[in-house]
Amino acid sequence: MAQSMTPMEDAMRAKITEALKPTTLDIYNDSHLHSHHKAMQGVTSKETHFRAIITSEAFKGKMQPARHRMVYSLLKDEMAQEGGIHALQLRTRTPEEEEKQKQKEAQE
Question: What 3-state class would DSSP assign to 2?
Answer: coil
* Binding window for other proteins (CB under 8 A); candidates: 11-19, 21-29, 54-62, 85-93: 85-93
* Residues facing residue 52 across a β-bridge: 27, 90
* Binding window for other proteins (CB under 8 A); candidates: 4-12, 14-22, 34-42, 54-62: 34-42
Amino acid at 90: L
From candidates 34, 35, 58, 98, binder to other proteins by CB under 8 A: 34
Question: Is residue 50 within the footprint of other proteins (CB under 8 A)?
Answer: no
Amino acid at 5: M
Question: Is residue 31 within the footprint of other proteins (CB under 8 A)?
Answer: no
Question: Is residue 72 within the footprint of other proteins (CB under 8 A)?
Answer: yes
Q: Read out DSSP for 37-104?
A: SGGGTT---S--EEEEEEE-GGGTT--HHHHHHHHHHHTHHHHHSTTS--EEEEEEE-HHHHHHHHHH
Positions in the binding site for other proteins (CB under 8 A): 34, 37-39, 41-42, 48, 64-65, 68-69, 72, 76, 79-82, 85-91
